[in-house]
Chains A and B, each alone.
Chain A
Amino acid sequence: MALRILLYFGILALGWYISSKGKIHGNLMKQISSIQSIILFGLIFIMGVRIGMDEQILTSIGQIGVMAAVFALVTASMSILFVYAARKKIISDTNITGGKK
């Protein structure tokens, strides 16, 4: 895992360095959002392909799918709620909170 974290950090840092030195053409910078969208949807599609081909997921969905879905929904919702409650008290910078107070 440490290697993976280093790899991701290295790639982010490389992109940051190149861009902060102004080595990226302005036209490419304008296109970044569209390129990201294309790759992102490709990534989501491949994630779907993996789910569709994974027998372990498909066979267990029928047996314990509802329980797993409830676990996912409740844990994600509670995490959102805790972060929401904490940042309401601690962080007021609307640039960080997304305009929410």
Chain B
Amino acid sequence: MTKKILIALALGILSGFFVMPDSVYDNTGLLMDIGLCLLLFFVGLDLGSNKDIFKNLRNLGFRILIVPIGTILGSLTGGLICSLIFKIDIFGALAIASGMSWYTLSAIIITPISSELGTIAFLSNVFREVIAFVAIPFIAKNIGYLETIAAGAAISMDTGLPMITKNTNSEVAVISFISGVILSLAVTVLVPIFVGFMV
């Protein structure tokens, strides 16, 4: 699976760079939206065929919140580590880490304060999405199902959801959507807070 993902991604990047005319770019957003909606519909079909999902999830209750909370705390810790590695402003690093794969929003909020950190936020969150796509099959097989959600963070409710569903099961798909919604909301709160503290 990982090999096929890498091949599809590489083919896309190469054709985007060498083959596609500029006019294609504007249509790719619409194509992604259509593809994503179709995938989410099929994920829904999958969920509907499993009668025990909600019974199993009810048994877990609030314990499923460890996924978004762990993901947020992990991302912030990662931001602190990176601020030490690269010797950059702690709050700037935390703002970048709080993007949690939502590259457009984090970059838009950070760029007016620092265009360099804004660009890092944009690129690092693009990379995090790509890393998640490539790593999810490996993580699901070798580490655990819930950790697949932590890899991509905010994308767990949209672009990452079909990939997580394909490599885990229906219960984890529901947890993924709920976690993705919580994480996306957290991005909108955390990034402006840390940007407010930036020097």
Q: Is the CB of B78 within 8 A of A96?
A: no
Q: Is the CB of B32 within 8 A of A47?
A: yes
Please name the residue on chain B nearest to A85 by beta carbon: B70
| Interface presence of A3 (CB below 8 A) | no
| Interface presence of A56 (CB below 8 A) | yes
With contact pairs A36-B162, A91-B146 given, residues A51 and B16 touching in the complex (Cβ less than 8 Å): yes
- Whole-angstrom distance between the alpha carbons of A69 and B82 in the complex? 11
Bitwise, B107-148 to A at CB < 8 A (1) or not (0) is 000000000100110111111111111010001110111110
| Interface presence of B193 (CB below 8 A) | no
- Whole-angstrom distance between the alpha carbons of A12 and B164 in the complex? 15
- Whole-angstrom distance between the alpha carbons of A52 and B15 in the complex? 7
Interface residues of B in 37-67 (CB under 8 A from A): 37-49, 51, 56, 59-60, 63, 66-67
Shortest distance in angstroms between B129's beta carbon and chain A's nearest beta carbon? 8
- Whole-angstrom distance between the alpha carbons of A54 and B183 in the complex? 26
Interface size counted on chain A using CB atoms at 8 A: 77
Bitwise, A1-30 to B at CB < 8 A (1) or not (0) is 100110111011111111111001000010
Q: Which residues of B contact A4 (CB under 8 A)?
A: 158
Q: Is the CB of B74 within 8 A of A33?
A: no
With contact pairs A46-B28, A46-B32, A48-B12 given, residues A19 and B46 touching in the complex (Cβ less than 8 Å): yes
- Whole-angstrom distance between the alpha carbons of A16 and B197 in the complex? 44
- Contact residues of A: prevailing secondary structure: helix
- Whole-angstrom distance between the alpha carbons of A69 and B158 in the complex? 22
Shortest distance in angstroms between A33's beta carbon and chain B's nearest beta carbon? 7
A75 touches which one: B67, B78, B85 (CB < 8 A)?
Answer: B78
B123 touches which one: A16, A40, A60, A79 (CB < 8 A)?
Answer: A60
Q: Is the CB of A40 within 8 A of B74?
A: no
Number of A-B contacts (CB under 8 A): 308
- Whole-angstrom distance between the alpha carbons of A47 and B36 in the complex? 11
Q: Is the CB of B48 within 8 A of A15?
A: yes
Q: Is the CB of B12 within 8 A of A44?
A: yes
Interface residues of B in 142-179 (CB under 8 A from A): 143-147, 149-153, 157-159, 162-163, 165-166, 168-169, 171-172, 175, 177
Q: Which residues of B contact A35 (CB under 8 A)?
A: 42
Q: Is the CB of A44 within 8 A of B78?
A: no
Q: Is the CB of B48 within 8 A of A17?
A: yes
- Whole-angstrom distance between the alpha carbons of A21 and B38 in the complex? 19
Q: Which residues of A contact B46 (CB under 8 A)?
A: 15, 19, 32
Q: Is the CB of B12 within 8 A of A46?
A: yes
Q: Which residues of A contact B153 (CB under 8 A)?
A: 76, 79
Q: Is the CB of A91 within 8 A of B12?
A: no
Interface residues of A in 64-91 (CB under 8 A from B): 64-65, 67-87, 90-91
Not counting A5-B181, A15-B48, A75-B97, a sample of 5 additional A-B residue pairs whose C-beta atoms are within 8 angstroms of each other reads: A29-B45, A50-B28, A71-B79, A75-B82, A95-B56
